[in-house]
């Protein structure tokens, strides 16, 4: 069906939408619409020929081109036909709903007369000459009315032709525009077509959406048709399916339908819909409460639509809905007595029993309480991902349904400890908890620093010894500042040493656990060092002992070594004084930024040594060290 309408700007700036009653013009930039969609395939050739030069063809360029009979300035008569070929390869595999060819008149010899036909011909790759025109296939449409002349925009209905071409996998389609044979030699029907708008083909199409049967998920697990079907619990109502659509405008507007039915009653089928799905990501529906009944087996499948087409239904998936909790387990221990003291340095041995309840598939246990089992998050396609509940951390399978399981575990603390245990079934349902209380002796190793208080940027040596009662220590697991664990072998007495460079101005933290030959792993010992932001002072004689007693004595010489504040590598000297208010004495630092002085007290009593670090430019550090001690009286 042809249409002519007045010129309203360039057709190239319009999105064209065909309806059952004619043509609708929508300005460019309008929001993307649901399927089906509209697109203009690229042209292969657009041009015209001339009866006066039968061996030549003319490509459409930046000049309005002729259609019908026309007379040149020399009075010579010409007759021209217009040909346009379009590449349909981009529509392979798509459903074509229709098509229209658009032209725009630029001028007419006589605006009271208009007659234009559009034909489908055998496809060509280049504009044909008058002498070698392609064979016609079918006349498609025509216009015989002169409205809006000159300058009318005209459309021709070519839907049947483009649908046929795509259906027969023809990559090209060629159209011929001509004046009907009875008028073709009449110059009054001649006209010129606008070069800028040229000849355009608009097609209505859709890419059928697809459901991917390899990516169907139920309750965090892949779809299965195995017998017996898997038992699913808390997330069984979550159904997910991967849908794809090749059309960009449908990328976020897919609608997925999920059909669910009891296996023993396929006629009791219910369909649940989720809109606004994304192509290439799973779409999810949460079945409403009451759809699934405990203990029943269900089948389900999915399909997807884009507003124009629906995919086929996916393969069928099956599962059994299980929300019944298993019974509470019985917990016993061969060596950790209930409400009694466990032996030091020995792993605990516990036995869990399902006492014959066939629903008990395994047990979960922890010294730190048991939380809610959850799924691990989304997969690459946005799907829910759940683990087999019997492979979760702190879970052990029973030796048979309703049977027992024995674990050997190390306590995570000392003093009164509580082990929490619960049963778990194949669907992930858990029982009420059982709590087993016992007393665990202290087991963390002792960590002591060797060689005095640690200094920044100096080596630190730690001595590690096992806790009382912990025997057979093979090695120590050591972590410095939360890094990767290291090991140090213990000697025959269970002693080991660990050294590191104290390079962090903020201090260091060391965590140590002992590992014994019997498999026992101790609780963690934590050791830390913090560096004050002022220069360090260390003396062989004059220091402040733990009991606060006086040291040295009148006339007893001592040495004092000054070290840079943490992070300072530019210390050039130190200024110090043993008497508050006295003039400061300066001593140069060595290449390591350290300096040593000697001092002999002349009287007993409290002394405060004040020390400043000085840079090469003479600036002082922000913090002095007030180093205090008590000088003993005369011997």
Total domain count, the chain:
5
Q: Are residues 7 and 65 in the same domain?
A: yes
Taking all residues of the chain, what is their mean pLDDT, rounded to a whole number? 93
Query: Which pairing describes strands 200-206 and 95-108: parallel, antiparallel, or unpaired?
Result: antiparallel
Q: For residue 620, what are the domain limits?
A: 536-631
Q: Report, as an integer, the average pLDDT of 415-439.
A: 97
Q: Are residues 139 and 99 in the same domain?
A: yes
Nearest to 176 by CA among 112, 130, 113: 130
Give the DSSP letter string of 211-240: EEEEEEEETTEE----SSPPEE-TTTTEEE
Quick one: pLDDT band at residue 327, thresholds 50, 70, 90? very high
- The residues, any chain, with a CB within 8 Å of residue 372's CB and separated by 6 or more, are none
CATH number at residue 144: 2.60.120
Nearest to 134 by CA among 70, 77, 57: 57
Domain end call among 529, 564, 593: 529
165-179 pLDDT, tens digit per residue, is: 999 999 999 999 999
* pLDDT for the residue numbered 19: 32
Q: Are residues 153 and 174 in the same domain?
A: yes
d(C-alpha 557, C-alpha 541), whole Å: 8
Q: Are residues 220 and 196 in the same domain?
A: no
Q: Report, as an integer, the average pLDDT of 134-138.
A: 97
* pLDDT for the residue numbered 441: 97
d(C-alpha 250, C-alpha 309), whole Å: 12
Instruction: Point out which residues pair with 138 in neighbouring strands.
Output: 120
CATH number at residue 626: 2.60.40.10
* pLDDT for the residue numbered 12: 35
Domain end call among 495, 529, 563: 529
- The residues, any chain, with a CB within 8 Å of residue 235's CB and separated by 6 or more, are 219, 220, 375, 384, 386
The torsion angles phi and psi of 250, rounded to 5 degrees, stand at -100, 5
* pLDDT for the residue numbered 378: 81
Strands (E), 233-329: 238-244, 254-262, 270-277, 282-286, 297-305, 317-321
* pLDDT for the residue numbered 246: 93
Domain end call among 263, 293, 321: 321
8-state DSSP, 431: P
Q: Report, as an integer, the average pLDDT of 25-30.
A: 32
**Structure tokens, 455:** 């200094």
* pLDDT for the residue numbered 635: 52
* pLDDT for the residue numbered 375: 87
**Structure tokens, 334:** 């061969």
Q: What angle do CA 236, 242, 246 make, to 5 degrees?
A: 165
Contact 321, 261 (CB under 8 A): no
Contact 263, 250 (CB under 8 A): no
Instruction: Point out which residues pair with 156 in neighbouring strands.
Output: 101
Q: Which residue has the higher pLDDT, 34 or 1?
A: 34
* pLDDT for the residue numbered 14: 35
* pLDDT for the residue numbered 20: 30
Q: Are residues 51 and 196 in the same domain?
A: yes
Q: Are residues 248 and 294 in the same domain?
A: yes
Q: Are residues 17 and 138 in the same domain?
A: yes
249-277 pLDDT, tens digit per residue, is: 999 999 999 999 999 999 999 999 999 99
8-state DSSP, 290: T
d(C-alpha 186, C-alpha 11), whole Å: 29
Q: Is the pLDDT of residue 233 over 50?
A: yes
Q: Are residues 523 and 584 in the same domain?
A: no
* pLDDT for the residue numbered 273: 97
Q: Are residues 434 and 458 in the same domain?
A: no
Quick one: pLDDT band at residue 2, thresholds 50, 70, 90? low
Quick one: pLDDT band at residue 339, thresholds 50, 70, 90? confident
The torsion angles phi and psi of 515, rounded to 5 degrees, stand at -120, 125
Q: Are residues 151 and 33 in the same domain?
A: yes
How large a percentage of the chain has pLDDT more than 70? 94
Q: Are residues 230 and 280 in the same domain?
A: yes
Q: Are residues 260 and 316 in the same domain?
A: yes
The torsion angles phi and psi of 17, rounded to 5 degrees, stand at -125, 120
349-388 pLDDT, tens digit per residue, is: 999 999 999 999 999 999 999 999 988 778 999 999 999 9
Three-state secondary structure call for residue 350: strand
Give the DSSP letter string of 381-424: TS-B----GGGSTTEEE-SSTT-EEEEEE--SSSEEEEEEEEEE
CA-to-CA separations, 313 to 257, 301, 376, 567, in angstroms, rounded: 9, 6, 29, 69
d(C-alpha 403, C-alpha 438), whole Å: 24
Quick one: pLDDT band at residue 34, thresholds 50, 70, 90? confident
* pLDDT for the residue numbered 507: 96
Rg (the chain; Cα; Å): 45
């Amino acid at each position: 069906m042809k249409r002519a309408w007045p010129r309203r700007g360039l057709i190239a700036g319009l999105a064209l939408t065909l309806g059952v009653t004619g043509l609708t013009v929508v300005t460019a930039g309008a929001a993307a619409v649901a399927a089906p969609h509209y697109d203009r395939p690229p042209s292969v050739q657009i041009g015209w020929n001339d009866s006066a030069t039968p061996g030549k063809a003319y490509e459409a360029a930046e000049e309005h081109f002729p259609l019908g009979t026309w007379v040149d300035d020399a009075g010579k008569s010409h007759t021209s036909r217009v040909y346009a070929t379009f590449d349909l390869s981009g529509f392979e595999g798509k459903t074509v709903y229709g098509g229209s060819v658009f032209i725009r008149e630029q001028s007419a010899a006589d605006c009271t007369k208009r007659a234009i036909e559009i034909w489908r011909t055998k496809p060509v790759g280049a504009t044909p000459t008058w002498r070698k025109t392609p064979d016609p296939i079918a006349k498609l449409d025509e216009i015989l009315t002169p409205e809006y002349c000159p300058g009318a925009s005209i459309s021709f209905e070519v839907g049947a032709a483009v649908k046929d071409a795509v259906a027969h996998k023809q990559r090209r389609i060629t159209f011929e525009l001509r004046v009907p044979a009875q008028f073709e030699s009449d110059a009054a029907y001649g006209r010129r077509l606008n070069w800028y708008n040229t000849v355009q083909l608009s097609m209505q199409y859709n890419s059928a959406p697809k459901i991917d049967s390899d990516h169907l998920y139920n309750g965090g697990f892949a779809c299965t048709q195995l017998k017996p079907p898997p038992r699913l619990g808390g997330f069984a109502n979550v159904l997910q399916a991967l849908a794809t659509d090749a059309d960009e405008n449908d990328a976020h507007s897919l609608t997925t339908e999920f059909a669910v039915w009891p296996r023993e009653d396929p006629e009791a089928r219910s369909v649940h819909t989720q809109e606004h799905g994304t192509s290439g990501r799973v779409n999810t529906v949460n079945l409403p409460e009451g759809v699934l009944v405990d203990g029943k087996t269900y089948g389900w499948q999915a399909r997807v639509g884009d507003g124009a087409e629906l995919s086929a239904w996916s393969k069928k998936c099956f599962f059994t809905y299980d929300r019944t909790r298993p019974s509470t387990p019985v917990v016993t221990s061969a060596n950790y007595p209930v409400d009694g003291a466990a032996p030091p340095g020995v792993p605990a041995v516990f036995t869990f029993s399902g006492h014959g309840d066939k629903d008990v598939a395994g047990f979960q246990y922890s010294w730190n309480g048991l939380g809610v089992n959850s799924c691990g998050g989304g997969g690459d396609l946005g799907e829910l991902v759940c683990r087999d509940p019997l492979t979760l951390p702190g879970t052990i399978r029973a030796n048979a349904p309703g049977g027992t399981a024995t674990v050997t575990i190390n306590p995570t603390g000392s003093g009164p400890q509580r082990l929490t245990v619960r049963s778990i079934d194949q669907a992930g349902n858990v029982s009420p908890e059982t709590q087993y209380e016992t007393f665990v002796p202290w087991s963390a190793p002792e960590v002591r620093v060797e060689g005095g208080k640690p200094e920044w940027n100096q080596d630190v040596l730690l001595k590690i010894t096992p806790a009382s009662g912990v025997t057979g220590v093979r090695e120590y697991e050591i972590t410095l500042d939360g890094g990767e664990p290291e090991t140090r072998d213990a000697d025959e007495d269970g002693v080991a040493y660990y050294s590191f460079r104290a390079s962090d101005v903020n201090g260091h933290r060391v965590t140590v656990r002992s590992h014994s030959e019997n498999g026992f792993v101790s609780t963690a010992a934590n050791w830390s060092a913090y560096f004050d932001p002022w220069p360090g002072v260390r003396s062989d004689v004059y220091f402040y002992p733990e009991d606060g007693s006086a040291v040295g004595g009148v006339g007893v010489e001592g040495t004092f070594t000054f070290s840079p504040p943490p992070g300072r590598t530019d210390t050039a000297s130190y200024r110090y004084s043993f008497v508050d208010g006295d003039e400061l004495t300066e001593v140069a630092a060595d290449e390591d930024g350290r300096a040593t002085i000697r001092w002999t007290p002349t009287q007993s009593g409290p002394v405060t040594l004040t020390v400043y670090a000085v840079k090469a430019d003479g600036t002082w550090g922000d913090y002095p060290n007030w180093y205090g001690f008590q000088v003993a009286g005369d011997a």
